[in-house]
Structure 1
Amino acid sequence: MLRLALLTLKTRKGGFAGTFVALLLGAAVLSACGILLESGVRAGSSPERYAAADVVVAGRQEVALTLKDLDGTTVEESQPLPERVPLRASAAARIAGVDGARSVIADRGATVRLVTAAGRPVPGRHGAAVEAHNWSSLGLGDFRLTTGHAPGAAGQIVLDTETAGRAGVRPGDEIRLMSASVPRAFEVSGLVALKDGRSPRRSVVFLGDADLRHSLPGASVEAFGVLASPGTSPQRLADAVRSALHDDTLAVHTGEGRGRAEFLDVTVSGSNLVVLAAAVGGNVLLVAVFVLYATTSLSIRHRRREIALLRAIGTTPGQIRRMVAVEAAATGLAAGVLGCPAGLLLVHQLRDRFAGHGVVPPDFGLVVSPLPFLAAVLVTVLTALAAVVSASHRATRIRPTEALGEAAVETPGLGRGRRITGYALLVLSAGIFVTGTVRDTDFFTLVGLADSLVLLLVIAVAVLGPLVARTAVRLLGPLLGRTGVTGWLAAANTRANAGRLAGAITPLVLAVSFASTVVFAQTTGLRESADQLRAGLLADHVLTAPAGVSPELARKVRGMKGVASATGLVTSKAVAAGRLLGADEAVSLGVQGVDPRALGTVLDLRPEKGDLGDLSRDTVAISTTAASWLGLGVGDTARLHLGDGTPFRGKVVAVYARGFGFADLTMDHDLLLAHTTGKADRSVLVRSAPSAPGLTRALSDAAAAYPGTVLRDGLAVDDQLAEQRANAWVNYLVVGVIIAYTAITVVNTLAMGTAARRREFALLRLSGTTRRQVAGMMRQESVVVIASGVGVGTLLAVFPLVLVSLATSGSPLPAVPGLGFLAIAGSTAVLAAAGTMVPTRLLLRIRPVEAIGARE
């Protein structure tokens, strides 16, 4: 069988071209996702400020939740924390007492904003925040003083050379530093740089230890650096520190782990990248199975005569299945090996796109090892085997005496098992849809039902493909027959070859339904968010800054004449245990902190139950979405972990409807601010009194005292939805990868189907049909394929989109931009037409007498 399979591959290269290209593309995407996945798991950067420390003790940047599975089994799941976990200064004494610890240095830090003497804001490197640290922590890192001297007196500061260059300052010049108050002037006493001459990954400034505590009261201990005694290995010291601390909230790092403790953005984005890579890879694998099944089925159908002849001369079904399995394995192996280098090129493009939308830092490093490539090759081979074995099942079951007869004409019926399976899937889909529309179902259950529904419907159409194709021909055939000879030929061909037509329609249905569902689910969510923002934000003025607004500004504005109400708005994340479809699940929820007195005057969250006026430091308000996920109502106790891991237990005082426009959780402003890394407001929302002449000018003057802060009249919806648009873009990227993959395989499938008809074209031309008439017939057939694929794909997308719209807005009408739908349908139609007409034009150039005798 091996020799026969290899000979078949050698002599039928064209027949395997479509399958090979589909597998190659799948291997490229899967290897790229594998690299992203491994990079996320092993995310890190070489330490800089901690490079000289043998051991670094930092907060564990994740929280472990105990959850129950569907069967009641208890599992533990970790969720990353977006805010830096602070440490207690008292832990230094315990660490210092560890055998082998020569000295322990506490690294105190805070996020600050730099301003030149002329009032120009100086952003950090790569647009990130500037970090201020105590001078004594310099001994933990790879920095050296290059110019000037240490900050010996109060009001002195040391900058890294790269930041000083962008600020245009030298030792002796003035630089202003701003955190929770107006900028304070400092004298630049010196400059530091990394010992190897590189620019530091993050902009950093150093203050004297006492001056840091006085000037930045919000500074906290971020880590302890431990220097080992001579003869003590870092690993041995780390083990001793772990035993002495015995604290699950702390993490002990050595080697490259010190970089993960230093650079929180890499750690958090790495966790996000794992989720994204798994989502993209899983979806592509799912699509690959569908597409490869359609492509392989078409290839097997074209080989009916060959398989029939093998059966007639005594070849057993098992031998044929082994032959096609070897062919598939060889094709998958070759495609996997050649697809991996393409995946290496693709992954850099994906990383750049992720960085451009803030998903990962711009300098996020990729980890490239053999493991993702080996996994991609293995999955590619297994996918090819699964597709070809299932597709060849019917072809190898026919009896030898019936083989040649069945090969001559396509079997018109649909197998009983296949018919029952397809109808069962349709019934199950109908049940899911009715459940979502009739019952009072919560948000996340509806979204879960929508995701399951589109998958079931696509599988059902793939199973019932010939039946769908015949239905399309019955509807469109009479119309084709009225267009003349070419239309009559097209109708006759499609009617007689429903299986071939189904193989062409299925990839189109897959592309249109998946793309429409994902894209228009995002547009529906964004529409609802924008509507809620416009209706819920009652502020007349908004003060905002790219690096955050000093919390002091909100307090000043609140006391100004003509201001009816004002609040700083701070945002973060909180982690909780939710419940989805009967199983516990760790969830990360958006949380906003506001002054409770401003609710109802500056913000209208549209409370449905409870009283937002009861919000305090010990209570919380939740959106209807969060309420459904967490299973909470007014009077219940919410058990949360704030962004820095701090446990919070608070009574739910209200449930509000406008969670899409704002946040899932609303808490007291000062409470939430204290548990953020930046200790800054996202914006200040101001509601003016009925008669407030000169308020705009007063607000502008107040903002001028905080360089970088700007005043806006009313709401900037695009800015408020920036994070949601970034999340939507990630989903668009997933769709783009899937559609690009599906699109190329659509062209391959149609091209294979057209190329296999060379003898048919030759026979038509020898019987008097002109080239123009054959081309016209194929154009009419492509119309049937496009209309059927786009029509059925659109119909399948309607049902899950209705559920998504009900979940987000309560209305069954999703937001479907006309141009967006035309882009999906139009691009699919163009690709389908190209896959049919280009091979047709090439085949018509061959002389009929040569084509009629060509090998199959």
Structure 2
Amino acid sequence: MLTTTLRGMLAHKLRLALTTASIALGVAFLAGTLVLTDTMGTAFDRLFDKVAAGTDAVVRTEAAYSASEGVSTSRAPIDAAVLDQVEQVEGVRAAEGSVSGYALLTDTDGDAVIPPGGLPTTGATMSADEKLRGDVKVLAGEAPDGPHEVAIDATSAEENDIEVGSTIKILFQGPTEEFTVVGTVGFGDDKDLGGSTSAYFDVATAQRVLGTPGVFDTIEVSADPGISQAELAERLSAVVPEGTEAVTGDAVSKENADAVKSNMKMINILFSIFAGIALFVGGFIIWNTFTMIVTQRSREIALMRAIGATKRQIKRSLLFEAILIGAGASAIGVALGLGVAKGLKVLMDVAGFSLPTTSLQVEPRTIIISMAVGTLVTVVSALVPARRATKVRPVEALRESAADTGSFSKRRALVGTTVLGLGTAGVLSTLYADAPMVVFGVGLLSVLVGVIVALPMAVRPLAAAIGAPMKLRGLSGELATQNAVRNPRRTAATAAALMIGLTLVVSMSVFASSLKTSFGEVIGDKTDADLYVTSASSQGPGFSPTVVAAVEDVEGVDSVAASGWGMARFEGHDTSYSAVDPATAGDLMQLDLSQGSLSELGDDTVVVSRDIAESNGWELGDTVDAEFAATGKHQLELVGIFDSKGWVTDNFVIGLDEQNALAGPQLVTSALVKVAAGADRDEVQDAITAALADHPDAKVLDQDAYEAEASGFIDGLLTFVTVMLLLAVVIALLGIVNTLALSVFERTRELGLLRAVGMTRGQVRAMVRWESVVISLIGALSGAGLGIGIGVALSRVLEDQGITGVSIPAPQIAVYVVLAAVAGVLAALGPARSAAKVDVLKAVVTD
């Protein structure tokens, strides 16, 4: 049986190659994802190790809660007097206070130096003690030592022609200041800190421009020789004041790296989803291939049963073939994964999501997981066909042929329609009966599964509709349609692979189009703004609050409504909140308060959405428990309830001044501008642009430009997702090639007879091509219809999150369908040539 299995595999090299390619591509994506995430994780580990290389212990205030541990943690400052206590501890070689914060560099022309992908623009203290700096090295010039001196990362200096001795402006949360660049800085072998920009100051200057004089963010400590980090931290913990803590430098480095990698989890999950889709589609192809193998070899299997082979041996033979194909394809996929990892990194860079990387990291678990998943998917996909092979009876060896009509079973129709109906009910219950989102998710999955199961039932009517125009092409078009519906199960399985890819692409297109439409409606109908001030980078975290003051001073500006954003705990749950200016938000943001007033926002107050108020039974005057990482627990008085979301999409709203008091100094994320009556909007915009010359971290846009920028960002995300999903489409097209190639082999005698009765080679090629187009369009049209439905449902269920409109990009979807038909023609080129080359005499005498 082993020899027979191996000979059977090698006898059909094209089939083996196409089946191997389908699973290898999926495994390559999975392996590439694991390699890339491991590489980025290692890069962050090394990055933070470099920064903390000279620090043996860190003294800091305790965080209010540990969920935000790491670089994103907002902690209260530590009094500078604690430094004196730390320096007296036995075993302390050196100790210095450290401050960090927002510092945006400009070049010598005053243009902002903006890192890609919204990476941070950081200012920090440069330790006077060189050992405390660790791997932060001065590459050129010297360390800063004065109120107007700065050292910047070498990458920013080189890429923006900033030479040592140059004078540049640096933007802070406070006023913009001029500094002389006295040095450039590197980090070990790197010239920047993971792609971000860095500005280093002496301690006093850093306290003035980044923090508050008299306090530090942390105190960094270096130990005497022979003193371990753990021992030093223990000694420091014994003397530091209550509310502060001493931790090892290694612990802080790991904490920071873990925090960043935790924030990357969404990227990891996203990549894993795409890999899963690719493997799922590949599974369809493998199932279809093995089904056809069983059908075509039914006479051979029957003969083997007749000469004594048991059912178990037949099943074991096919599963062994699946294991060999799966293992071989997975090994190829792992090798290809290195290239995929590099490609994904390039794609992320192009899309503006730059992240630091190092040399590719191939962990043993990557190889094990990829090999196991690829082999398991192949074996599972072959289980049903293998089981079907055991039902072939020995008497079938006496038959001339054993063609499988693949008729559609009533039981499958019942199961498919039932699952589809239940899924639809789940989706509708979420949309109209307030069922939880988990029901919506399960409902969507059930709809997809139901359509896949029931698709053979729709093959004949869809093929008839698609094939109607093809009949005008004569006999080739008519036969192509008949061939496509000859085996509905096989056609459905082949089309389903393409349908899944198109469903996801189309649903994302509908969702993105709805998002853009909703954003246009929000800024047009839910604000009274004439102009919009936003970050200079579309992915930037925000801009300095001094920008708002500069805009307010421009002649012709009536009012400015600034807003911010942050994360905190409300009633024990981590959630986001918005911060607004109570004096102007009511006029420009149209929050539609049904109770209370935004003007009442002040110290320890909050405004909430009606949904949150009703779910918690809150009324005006009630107390809301809140917790901020920087300042701990607070009780906020409920002073307003708003009915509809528009510009503000969060459920909790506090004042900007309150945010700075509770969460520490924050950037402004956006500002709405109302032009005074009688003033010319274009002139006011030009005046604001001039006023922002010293604030290059912000820009002013009119409504059309602001909407276009937001749409461009959404389009970028859509392009990123679409490119990722194209792998599934490519695998689906391989499935069409595989199906057609096997179908041509299966119909060798039939093709020979057609040629014998006068059908030309060109007609045979056209027949196979049109058959491929029919299969492709069945998958494309099914995917387009299902994708539109899912996209609309997804848009409607997120109405409370600000997606108020639904938009279906019909021209874009039409292009997808046309491209699928063209791809079907291309996929049929090889099988069509094979069909046309069938030897008439040999085909006719085949027995």
Q: Same fold (TM over 0.5)?
A: yes
1:667 aligns with 2:654: yes
Q: How many residues are aligned here?
A: 827
Deviates more, 1:475-484 or 1:528-537: 475-484
Read off the aligned partner of 2:173 and give its amino acid letter: A
Q: Deviations over 1:388-433 (max 9, x none)?
A: 0123222322443457659624256445654443233133223224
Q: Quick check: 2:105–2:169 contact (8 Å CA) kept in 1?
A: yes
Match of 2:6 in 1: 6
Name the SS of the counterpart of 2:78 in structure 1.
coil
Name the SS of the counterpart of 1:816 in structure 2.
coil
Name the SS of the counterpart of 1:53 in structure 2.
coil
Between the aligned partners of 1:449 and 1:383, the Cα distance in structure 2 is 27
1:182 aligns with 2:175: yes
Deviates more, 1:780-789 or 1:835-844: 780-789
2:344 to 332, 342, 350: 350
1:44 aligns with 2:45: yes
Q: Quick check: 1:26–1:288 contact (8 Å CA) kept in 2?
A: yes
- Cα 1:735–1:378 change in 2 (3 A) is same
Q: Quick check: 2:424–2:447 contact (8 Å CA) kept in 1?
A: no
2:605 to 619, 623, 631: 619
Q: Quick check: 1:576–1:640 contact (8 Å CA) kept in 2?
A: yes
- Cα 1:232–1:477 change in 2 (3 A) is same
1:457 aligns with 2:447: yes
1:654 to 641, 646, 655: 641
1:112 aligns with 2:103: yes
Match of 2:270 in 1: 276
Deviates more, 1:520-529 or 1:417-426: 417-426
1:226 aligns with 2:221: yes
Match of 1:330 in 2: 324
Q: Quick check: 1:179–1:216 contact (8 Å CA) kept in 2?
A: yes
1:598 aligns with 2:584: yes
1:807 deviates by: 2.1
Name the SS of the counterpart of 1:52 in structure 2.
coil
1:840 aligns with 2:824: no
Q: Quick check: 1:571–1:682 contact (8 Å CA) kept in 2?
A: yes
1:200 deviates by: 3.6
Name the SS of the counterpart of 1:393 in structure 2.
helix
Q: Quick check: 1:59–1:86 contact (8 Å CA) kept in 2?
A: yes
Read off the aligned partner of 1:191 and give its amino acid letter: G
Match of 1:85 in 2: 74
Q: Deviations over 1:830-854 (max 9, x none)?
A: 2223323431123312422245567
Between the aligned partners of 2:11 and 2:710, the Cα distance in structure 1 is 60
1:820 deviates by: 1.8
Match of 2:790 in 1: 800
Between the aligned partners of 1:372 and 1:278, the Cα distance in structure 2 is 13
Between the aligned partners of 1:632 and 1:367, the Cα distance in structure 2 is 52
Question: 1:370-449 counterparts in 2 under 5 A?
Answer: 370-401=364-395, 408-411=402-405, 413-415=407-409, 418-441=412-435, 445=437, 448-449=438-439
Name the SS of the counterpart of 1:597 in structure 2.
coil
Between the aligned partners of 2:723 and 2:574, the Cα distance in structure 1 is 23
Q: Quick check: 2:613–2:641 contact (8 Å CA) kept in 1?
A: no
Question: 1:95-134 counterparts in 2 under 5 A?
Answer: 101-115=92-106, 119-123=110-114, 128-134=120-126
Match of 2:518 in 1: 528
CA RMSD of aligned residues (A): 4.3
1:331 deviates by: 0.5
Could you tell me the percent identity over the aligned residues?
A: 22
Match of 1:199 in 2: 191
1:595 deviates by: 0.4
Name the SS of the counterpart of 1:464 in structure 2.
helix
Match of 1:67 in 2: none
1:347 deviates by: 1.0
Between the aligned partners of 1:725 and 1:632, the Cα distance in structure 2 is 40
Q: Quick check: 1:49–1:140 contact (8 Å CA) kept in 2?
A: no
Read off the aligned partner of 2:199 and give its amino acid letter: V
Deviates more, 1:519-528 or 1:142-151: 142-151
- Cα 1:403–1:794 change in 2 (3 A) is farther
1:11 deviates by: 2.4
Deviates more, 1:497-506 or 1:159-168: 159-168
- Cα 1:823–1:473 change in 2 (3 A) is closer
1:770 to 754, 760, 769: 760
Match of 1:75 in 2: none
Q: Deviations over 1:130-174 (max 9, x none)?
A: 423254475422345566665555444444555556676666664
Q: Quick check: 2:298–2:392 contact (8 Å CA) kept in 1?
A: no
Name the SS of the counterpart of 1:182 in structure 2.
coil
Name the SS of the counterpart of 1:522 in structure 2.
helix
Name the SS of the counterpart of 1:408 in structure 2.
coil
Q: Deviations over 1:800-851 (max 9, x none)?
A: 2332232245999842212320232122222223323431123312422245
Q: Deviations over 1:106-143 (max 9, x none)?
A: 32112213446764545569975142325447542234
1:97 deviates by: 8.3
1:21 aligns with 2:21: yes
Question: 1:566-715 counterparts in 2 under 5 A?
Answer: 566-574=560-568, 589=576, 591-607=577-593, 611-622=597-608, 650=636, 653-659=640-646, 665-673=652-660, 679-692=666-679, 699-700=688-689, 702-707=691-696, 709-714=698-703
Between the aligned partners of 1:625 and 1:366, the Cα distance in structure 2 is 47
Q: Quick check: 1:504–1:750 contact (8 Å CA) kept in 2?
A: no
Deviates more, 1:510-519 or 1:378-387: 510-519
Between the aligned partners of 1:131 and 1:98, the Cα distance in structure 2 is 29
Q: Quick check: 1:178–1:184 contact (8 Å CA) kept in 2?
A: yes
1:336 deviates by: 0.7
Between the aligned partners of 1:57 and 1:300, the Cα distance in structure 2 is 70
Deviates more, 1:241-250 or 1:475-484: 241-250
Match of 2:818 in 1: 826
Question: 1:246-257 counterparts in 2 under 5 A?
Answer: 252=247, 254=249
1:296 to 290, 304, 322: 290
- Cα 1:455–1:748 change in 2 (3 A) is farther
Q: Quick check: 1:56–1:261 contact (8 Å CA) kept in 2?
A: no
Between the aligned partners of 1:786 and 1:403, the Cα distance in structure 2 is 35
Between the aligned partners of 1:230 and 1:564, the Cα distance in structure 2 is 64
Q: Quick check: 1:673–1:679 contact (8 Å CA) kept in 2?
A: yes
Deviates more, 1:489-498 or 1:384-393: 489-498
1:757 aligns with 2:747: yes
Q: Deviations over 1:443-502 (max 9, x none)?
A: xx2xx5554344323323433344333444566678777865445534544454333333
